[in-house]
Structure formats: structure tokens, C-alpha cells
A and B are shown apart, each in its own frame.
Chain A
């Protein structure tokens, strides 16, 4: 980031400051870099779409593939949007995969095996997310344990509970009415996508446009500064873990609707993609901060890339390679960009 921004008067009161009018090329370079950093991922996404449309013209730019990309991956979007909340305040939540998996299982188990009304099953699943988030918050904020270790344990525990509840088998046959609601097409896209979009907008609004969002940033970037300014740091940290857990449970509910079944191992496989998308998203739109639209673009960039590779015939292993690689590259890129910003300071 430079001191001089487009439209900013660049001169200081004569005599005292050290500023001179910026040479135009330097300012333009800084602006270009800024724009490149902000929208680079969006451009990369477009490039991936063009690339695969050329490489796989028969299968990639098709309606079916479009539906897969936007429809099924709303789950990952909701999970990622939830995850950026604790990441913003500097806390990890590695239990989101477990929460999501268990939530899907709750919906299936209560509705299919216990014959509860689906609405009640969904509410129970969300309440479970709330309770798990509260337990995480108790250990992390109340007792003072590391969120990394606490949520790592919690996630594994929940995955185990899921296997126990399902006897390690997939529970199918979730109410077709529920499945229809979640996959109902509006403007050619399923409800699930619009739920994800809506949550992205909510997260964007809260993080970017409210005092609470500002407070989250300070708790994340300088917890001691936040505390000494009188912000309710403990409440903010606890609240962010709870919000994340509720959203993860919401992702699990969506998963139940999108797939129509609960697979006990399903949640865990979403953990890494969500982290990859969150960190990749933090390198764009608002570089340097975890942000909702960055996460949105990152989710669809990753999913588009994977679906393209799979349509090229490279499937199975490619997901792990792509997500894992993206996470490392995203973190490395963020680091380099941050260093560049600091060097300018």
C-alpha cells in the first residue's frame, strides 16, 4: 500500500514534510499492483473458465457443469464464510468439518430413523452447532487453550460421534420435500446457491460495514490494542467461534438437502477446501484481510479448476492435490504481498 492513492492530494505543507509530488509512473505502478492484487483472483477465475472451455469444449462450458459448480458447492461456500469469522479475530476452527458432518447426520438420523419432522431435525442440527461452538469458546476463551488444538480435538471427536450414530454407514432417504426445497431452481440456480450468496452478503456487510466488523479486525490484528481500547475481546472471540460453528452446522443442513443422504466421513473432507478458500480469498478483493467476497471468488475459482480437471479425465486424486496446493500457494502469496506492503512502509 502506498502513502499516495489515486485522488489523494500528494503534497504536504511546504517546508516541513518529506513528500514531493509523486512521479506519475511510480504512482501508476503502485495503482496497477494494487488493482492486480485486488482482482487477480477474479481474472484467474475467468482465465480458468476460458482455458477449460477451449480444452474441453464438449463438457466444460455446459449447463450441467454450470449446475454442478454453482449448485453443489454452496455447501463449501457457507462453510468458508463461517470460517473467515474466527480467522478474522485470529482464531482457528478446525472442528468445522466435524460440525458439518454431524449436522448432516443429525438431519438424516432424526428425520429418517427417528421420523421427526424435517424442520425440527434441521433446528436440532443448528442448535447442536451452537452448542458445539459454545463448548469450543468455553475452552478457548474461558480456559485459555489454543484454538488450534481445541478445535482439532473437537473435530475429530465429532467425526467419531458421527460414525457411532450411523454405524459407519450412509443414511439415505432424506425427505424428498426437503431435498426439493434445497435444490429448487430459481433463475436456473438451486436455492442452496442463493442461501450461500445471502450469507456471503451478510458476512460482507457485518465485516466491512459495521462497527462489529471493525472490532473483529482489531481483535485479530492486535488483541492487546483492542483490549486496552476497551473492546469486549472475550465476547468477540467467543462469539466468532459460535457463529462459525452455527454456519458449519448450516452447511451440514444444506449438504443433507443437496445430497439427500448423510455420509459419516463427508464433513471431514470439506475441512481443507474451506481453509484453502478462506486463505486464498484473503489475498484478493480486500488483500490482507479475510473477507467475504474474496472467499466467494476463491471457492468458485477452486471448484471451477477442479471440475475442469475432472472433465479432462484427471479425477480422484486431483482434488486433494489442487486444494492442498492452493492453500500453500495462497498463504505464500499473502506473505509475499504483505512483505511488499511493509517494505513500502
Chain B
């Protein structure tokens, strides 16, 4: 019988009458990798936040760590002393500090006269990094590292903390959300290192294939209840989806293409960032994918076409308008030309977390509600509520702050913000990133419907299964240039993966 690293029982948490967690029991054995999965609003993040000391649970919850009872709520910042460390989605690293400083801040071991021995600190950090196969200069600024290296540094730090307390538990919250496909393998190797050392890992994820690759056991949350814990080997994808949704998921990707019409958007010789001399056309009713491994430039394209980041050269032409130089395009002009952009950074570029759904969603059309000298808030609220219901945003309360919703529901609401305008061209960057399986389906459905209604979509992503499932045509990027184009029967996940990794046309 394995030793129990963490045991949480009777965990409930309500927010103003809404039950986010309801009598959840969650147990993690020492040295196991335990996946925690569930749809939007299932309570995953709330559970993690209780463990991090960010939320106080309702009375009655009990927590044991390494066999010792720990009283709840945990004071914020105390979890690492208890052998519980976290790798949050944003990693919690400070970009302007070095690896050494990030790894050791708050953990310095002062020597005589309170002086920090930098030599000793440096050795400790180098050793910790080597553990995960990382050979990085410890003085390098974290901001200069690749996303993968940043994630690995955060994991090395969490592991060092857990190890200091004899095993412990490392909680990884969506650790692969910002990683390229090839980075995920390295991350899983790192998790393997944790396991070998008797440290338990809890991995919170939306990506089911990862669950099957890495987890020993899986716990599924649905609507705030733990609906099952099972050895992963006893599950298959269908069963897991059924547990997550509470029903069978019939068609994941929307069926049926739209009628492809004339050219709506023409990009010519676009140059900027890591993109070189890029030309392509998008047609009415088409969903065009921009694919590539991370860093290949495809995710920069939507921002450049929208004028959100400056391009060096090239022109953008939208049907019915004169071509405009991309170098001087601003988002405001792009918007006038009929372009919309859904950025990947939900709460940094897409919507404001502290502001209500009503104000966030109606922002581009708020002038419509300005009648008789004032904004008709009631009409605005009713309109937004209708839109939220139509886009299956839960809960559809226009007055809730955006940040109150789960990631997937935020994304559905922000997509509604743009789709309501019925623009001829929508540019999207990773529209399904960090979004659960039910919301993904919903989002793709909306994109297809908008395309069928005559819009064209340009969607950058590093998720090959989504691109293959949703797009009519995909352009494959390598070092900022198009190296391949897949469409129709030739557009499958396997071929897309092969095209992205293939070096035959590498620049």
C-alpha cells in the first residue's frame, strides 16, 4: 500500500450561494502522477486555489499532508513549508530576474553575518537544473528563456521545494498550455524525475491525450463533485469524456464545410517579426488555419494583419477597400476595414477581468445603446444576456465580472464580443487554448457558423488536431515562411504534424 501524500476530504466551497465544490474527496499517493480533469466550472481551479491557500474552504474540510493533519484554511504562502508546491499556468517567475534569483528568492541560506553565499546558491541551482537535464547559465534572465525552459525552471523550483520537505506534492496547473508539442515531452520527462524521487505530481489539464501519457490515476470533477477516481489504465478516451461531460460527446468538430466564395482578404509580401515575405488569400466562408511549431511565426500573423504589432512591410487588402500598407496599419483602421482580432491573451488583450460581462461584450457596439442622450443599460443588459445564452456562456449573468467565469466561458463570451459584429474577416490566435473539451466544441461550432454565414476566419494554432478538425485549409509555417499547404482530404492531423516537423523545405 503506497503511502498517502495528500488526502483532502469533505471539501466544499461556495461563492455567494453558488457551490463551486461540493463534498469533494481527493487523495494522492506518494510518488504517483495524478491527473485532475473536468470541464469549465467543474471546480478544478477552486480546488487548486484552496490548496494554495488562496481560497478558504467552507467549514468541514480536512486536509492531511504526508499523514499529518493540517488545519484549513492554509495561510497564503504557507503551502511550500508544508511540502506542497505549485507550478501555476503563468509559472510565477519574474522575467527580469536571473534563473538563480528566481530559483532562490525567499529561500536563501544566509551564512555568517547573514551574508548570502552566492557560490553555494549557484551550485545548488546548477544541481537542481541538471536534475531535469537543463544546462542553462544560471545568470540568464528568465525573460530571455524559451517557454519550455521557463516551464522547466518553474518545475525545478517546485521540485526543489518539495524535496526539501521529504517528497511532498507538486501541483502543475495546465503546465502544457503554452508549450509547443516538442516541449511537452521534455516536461513529461521532468515529471518522471519527480516520480522517481518519491514526489507526487498532480497535473491539472484539459488535454486528454496527456492524461493517458503521464498519469497513474485520474480524478474527474464535474459540477463541483468528484465523479470518479480510477487508475488511468482502466480508462479510455470515450469513457473519460463521458465522465467529464456526464454524457456522450457525439460530434466533436462541426460537420460540413461552408461554400467557399470570392477572395475577401489578400495579404501581400507581409514582413515583420519572424515573418518574411508572406502572401496568401482567404475566401468568403473559409476557415484558414496557420500552423507551425512554436516560434515559427504563424501566431504573429493575426496581430500583424490587424496592425496590433507593427509590420515592416507588405500590404493588406480587404474586399471593397483599397490595399493598405501593413507597416502603418493601426487596430482602429483594421477594425474599420472589417477585421476583428481575438488574441490568445484572454485577460491581457481580449477582455478586462474586473469589468462586467455586459461592458466587456458590448464594448465594440456600445454606441448602439446610446439613445436619447444616455446608454440604455437595461436594453444593453438584455441584449448581452441574449448573446451569452446564444453562445452558451455559463452563468449568463451580464453583471458578473469577466474574471469570475472559467477560462472556457470567458473565451466564449469574448468570441461573442467579436462575432456579434458580423465582420467579414476574423483573425484568431489559439482560440481554444486552455479551454475544456465542451467549450472547445462550442467555440468551433460558432466559428463554423460564422463562416457559413459568409465571414472568413484566419486561425493561428499549434494544436494540430483542432486545425485538422476545423479548418478548410491550413498553411504550414517554418521560420516565418509558408512551406506547405494542406486542404481537403489531405488535411489530417498526421499529415499536419508531419508537415510541421518535416525538414524537407526548411529555410
Contacts and interface: CB of A to CB of B under 8 A. Distances in A.
Interface of A: 1-5, 8, 10, 12, 15-23, 26-27, 30, 205, 209-211, 214-215, 217-218, 221-222, 224-225, 227-232, 288, 338, 341-345
Contacts of B404: 3, 344-345
Nearest to B367: A211
B349 A228 contact: yes
B363 A229 contact: yes
B16 A217 contact: no
A221 B355 contact: yes
A338 B354 CA distance: 9
Contact of B332 (A18, A30, A205, A232): A232
Interface of B: 14-20, 41, 43, 55, 223-224, 246, 306, 308, 331-332, 334-336, 341, 343, 345, 348-355, 359, 363-364, 366-367, 370, 373-375, 394-395, 397, 399-401, 403-404, 417
Nearest to B18: A19
A232 B370 CA distance: 18
Nearest to B438: A16
Contacts of A27: 16-17
Contacts of A21: 17
B49 to A, nearest CB: 10
Given A12-B395, A26-B14, A214-B366, A20 B19 contact: yes
Given A4-B17, A22-B18, A344-B15, A227 B403 contact: no
B17 A10 contact: yes
B20 A228 contact: no
A344 B403 CA distance: 10
Given A17-B41, A230-B335, A224 B349 contact: yes
A228 B306 contact: yes
Given A17-B41, A22-B18, A218-B355, 14 more contacts: A4-B16, A17-B395, A20-B18, A21-B17, A22-B17, A26-B17, A221-B355, A222-B348, A222-B351, A228-B306, A228-B331, A228-B343, A338-B354, A344-B15
Nearest to B225: A18
B410 to A, nearest CB: 11
Nearest to B370: A211
B363 to A, nearest CB: 5
Nearest to B417: A229
A344 to B, nearest CB: 6
Given A8-B399, A21-B17, A218-B363, A227 B355 contact: no
A27 B14 CA distance: 12
A230 B364 contact: yes
B51 to A, nearest CB: 16
Max count, chain A CB within 10 A of own CB: residue among B18, B20, B364, B417: B18
B359 A217 contact: yes
Nearest to A13: B394
Contact of B308 (A209, A228, A345): A228
Given A17-B41, A217-B359, A345 B223 contact: no
Contacts of B401: 1, 341, 345
A210 B374 contact: yes
B299 to A, nearest CB: 15
Contacts of A214: 359, 363, 366, 375
Contacts of A30: 16
8 contacts: A3-B397, A12-B394, A16-B223, A18-B41, A20-B18, A217-B359, A218-B352, A345-B404
A209 B16 contact: no
Contacts of B355: 217-218, 221-222
Given A17-B395, A211-B375, A344-B15, A3 B400 contact: yes
B375 A229 contact: no
B272 to A, nearest CB: 17
A6 to B, nearest CB: 11
A4 B397 CA distance: 8
Given A214-B359, A228-B341, A16 B394 contact: yes
Nearest to B414: A225
B414 to A, nearest CB: 10
B17 A18 contact: no
A122 B334 CA distance: 43
Nearest to A209: B374
A12 to B, nearest CB: 6
Contacts of A18: 18-20, 41, 43, 223-224
A278 B406 CA distance: 33
Nearest to A233: B332
A8 B398 CA distance: 10
A229 B403 CA distance: 18
B16 A230 contact: no
B17 A20 contact: yes
Contacts of B336: 230
Contacts of B246: 15
Contacts of B331: 227-230
Nearest to A11: B395
Contacts of B366: 211, 214-215
A225 B350 contact: yes
Contact of A4 (B18, B334, B374): B18
A50 B124 CA distance: 65
A14 B454 CA distance: 35
B463 to A, nearest CB: 22
Q: Count chain B CB atoms within 10 A of each CB in A4, A27, A217, A230 and give the residue with the most.
A: A230
Contacts of A215: 366
B362 to A, nearest CB: 8
B311 to A, nearest CB: 16
Contacts of B364: 229-230
Nearest to A27: B17
A232 to B, nearest CB: 6
